[in-house]
Structure 1
């Protein structure tokens, strides 16, 4: 699976000088580049594009969300696959919702919230095979620019893709060449509607949004935003809080996880705990800093589990690990123990059953009843795992080659129930 951060890393790597030569009286250098030519879409066309369609093949999956017997699987920047999971051994894709620029989604009751580049889209999913847009909040996600990118010059257009072309350039050694790009394929997200009596879904650990009470919280690379969703169809943005340690502090904010009245925000430089008891303006109460690494977090029984992935854009010279923290006192989180890992991505926790995605190494099935003595019970190899959702002894796993489901009622011998294959784009 191609992630946004791997995409950024490829761009950054393409700007490095790869070769050079010297002569007694002159110096030239040969630089290799990948040129990214932006593909534009009119905002007006973008805002008319949401529609329910027949099932599509899965080509580049992103985030997952689970509600009842339905799985919602993002197709990166394209839309959402709707999967009937009444039988986990035989899941069936029943529809695709075309949503340009979609990365995240969440569901409560019959309402699905999804991002569409700048906008927050509200969808009626009472008939999952014929989902309809019922409301759009325009320009609520204004921070669409990412590292290495700038905004489109025309405010009536948005960059929806890039055409790639490799090239080389010879220049004087004293000349610094740079490629200017016009925007980015972005993220941003939302999480869903109204009253506490409505059925609430469950997202993975890589989410950039969280639903808590009557509020929706989203994170971008530097900040936390709060939306009042007491009226499910008309969210109202209430506040935006800059997070110390964001990109200006040396690391991007990456994930958010709700627990009780708190929000646990994962970033490349640490975990930040926000008290949301005043929901319209959550306040940071505690933090736990670490070396710069990629950092999703999940919480159960006042214990926070954080995977720290080194390498690539995260931290090329550090070791990967799983950290367990006591967060009963949110103002003073304490490290219980750190466990070495290979290359961890998403993770999940369910009644002491811990699941860690390890990329090409597969998935670790672990017993976390004693946080100071976590043990591995099993490991599933042969899949490049990205994120998980454990629920009712069924583990959903997004991987490079498909959507997997495992029965983990026996953690020593997890059983593969099904796999929906991904069709690799040629």
Structure 2
């Protein structure tokens, strides 16, 4: 028996560990991809020249981001693909920026911000054929950084073949990453100089500031001079932080325990307004003037067996409360375009709903594309951009109830499980 998978989660491993004892030899071969720990010297990483490379095929696409006529696709921990999306029916893969440890991105006035392990990089992309690194802010994402040794602890996507393995050994260690952690999607009403990120984004821009969240902290950067980002301060948020979404001088922060609302009317110093709590589950969020739409899902590190769309009343942002919840299959990212809500249902497909009446969403499903495996999406100005394990597809959604496929970019090594 041979098992090949993009990622092997800890959830899948534990039952096998319980079944086999250390004395039971498995005379089979297992080939899988997992995340193994790697220790790196930041001084070595900073010494390497970052040179833009020719276009590369997508291998494991992560965050997607729209800026003008360009579509940017992150390759988790590897870098960023730049595509000319002037014609969504024929996107042109232009180049690749290799950035070690990159997980997220945002663009402000032709300056691309990207994390490079513990550093924040700023690239000038005003000439897309001559992208230049113009700034590096060191030691700002320090949650994986050991200052005493100068080492970064990271995880590398590694293919492992194990023969005659002994499962259940006391000293066996397994490292897994939530398959969704590298994906993004939703639509935010940003200023013209900003691009558009998604519901799973950890970087966002608002009012001349960049907000970046990790598992427990929001870092605030002054980017009024776009090419010269300055760290203002970190803000402690508590544990389990996953996503950030800006709307009307507020920041909506998704965590695996609930949704935080911050007042960002003083951009350099956001203040907490309220926290809406729910059961432990993965939690991206999008909002409009009156409601927040939150998807909760089970699987991987989202430990509760709950798959829902929750609608939260935020008319008084100091007192958010649940209006109604709807059962879903395994919802991931989501995007809101007017009264139309699009939900990525993982391997189950892509759903769309009319949400003008939040109390009857289940009665107003527009479409369910079961063949479109999806983990996130952006309702953009030209197309609905959907990302899934097999690639990135774009749809004409001018008729919201009937999506029309425009193009697809397939990944080099799609997920295969045998």
- Structure 2 unaligned residues grouped into runs of 5+: 1-5, 184-189
Query: Does the 8 Å CA contact 2:211/2:221 hold for their aligned counterparts?
Result: yes
Note the C-alpha offset of 1:334: 1.9
- Separation in 2, partners of 1:110, 1:104: 16
- Structure 1 unaligned residues grouped into runs of 5+: 1-5, 22-27, 146-150, 190-195, 247-251
Residue in structure 2 matched with residue 340 of structure 1 by the alignment: 327
Deviates more, 1:307-316 or 1:102-111: 307-316
Q: Does 1:322 align with 2:346?
A: no
Residue in structure 2 matched with residue 249 of structure 1 by the alignment: none
Mark the CA change 1:12 to 1:137 in structure 2 (over 3 Å): closer, same or farther: farther
Note the C-alpha offset of 1:156: 4.8
Alignment of 1:15-414 (within 5 A): 17-19=17-19, 30=24, 38-47=37-46, 48-144=48-144, 154-156=149-151, 159=154, 161=156, 163=158, 164=160, 166=162, 168-169=165-166, 176-177=170-171, 179=173, 199-244=193-238, 246=239, 252-316=240-304, 318-374=305-361, 375-392=364-381, 394-414=383-403
Query: Does the 8 Å CA contact 1:18/1:31 hold for their aligned counterparts?
Result: no
Query: Does the 8 Å CA contact 2:144/2:154 hold for their aligned counterparts?
Result: no
Mark the CA change 1:31 to 1:405 in structure 2 (over 3 Å): closer, same or farther: same
- Separation in 2, partners of 1:61, 1:341: 24
Higher strand share: 1
Mark the CA change 1:134 to 1:260 in structure 2 (over 3 Å): closer, same or farther: same
Mark the CA change 1:29 to 1:303 in structure 2 (over 3 Å): closer, same or farther: same
- Separation in 1, partners of 2:350, 2:227: 38
Structure with greater contact order relative to length (CA < 8 Å, sep ≥ 6): 2
Note the C-alpha offset of 1:384: 1.7
- Separation in 2, partners of 1:209, 1:423: 27
Note the C-alpha offset of 1:188: 10
Note the C-alpha offset of 1:197: 7.1
- Separation in 2, partners of 1:350, 1:376: 15
Query: Does the 8 Å CA contact 1:78/1:100 hold for their aligned counterparts?
Result: yes
Query: Does the 8 Å CA contact 1:305/1:324 hold for their aligned counterparts?
Result: yes
Aligned residues: 393
Q: TM-score, normalised by structure 2?
A: 0.85
Note the C-alpha offset of 1:278: 2.5
Note the C-alpha offset of 1:328: 1.6
- Separation in 2, partners of 1:37, 1:154: 20
Deviates more, 1:9-18 or 1:337-346: 9-18
- Separation in 2, partners of 1:309, 1:188: 16
Query: Does the 8 Å CA contact 1:383/1:400 hold for their aligned counterparts?
Result: no
Note the C-alpha offset of 1:365: 1.5
Mark the CA change 1:12 to 1:41 in structure 2 (over 3 Å): closer, same or farther: farther
Query: Does the 8 Å CA contact 1:74/1:104 hold for their aligned counterparts?
Result: yes
Query: Does the 8 Å CA contact 1:263/1:276 hold for their aligned counterparts?
Result: yes
- Separation in 2, partners of 1:260, 1:170: 52
Note the C-alpha offset of 1:15: 9.6
Aligned to 1:13, the other structure's residue is in SS state helix
- Of 383, 389, 406, 1:417 maps to 406
- Separation in 2, partners of 1:379, 1:372: 20
How large is the RMSD of aligned CA atoms in angstroms? Answer: 3.2
Q: TM-score, normalised by structure 1?
A: 0.83
- Separation in 2, partners of 1:344, 1:109: 33
Note the C-alpha offset of 1:139: 1.1
CA shift digits 1:101-127 (9 cap, x unpaired): 111111122111011111100000011
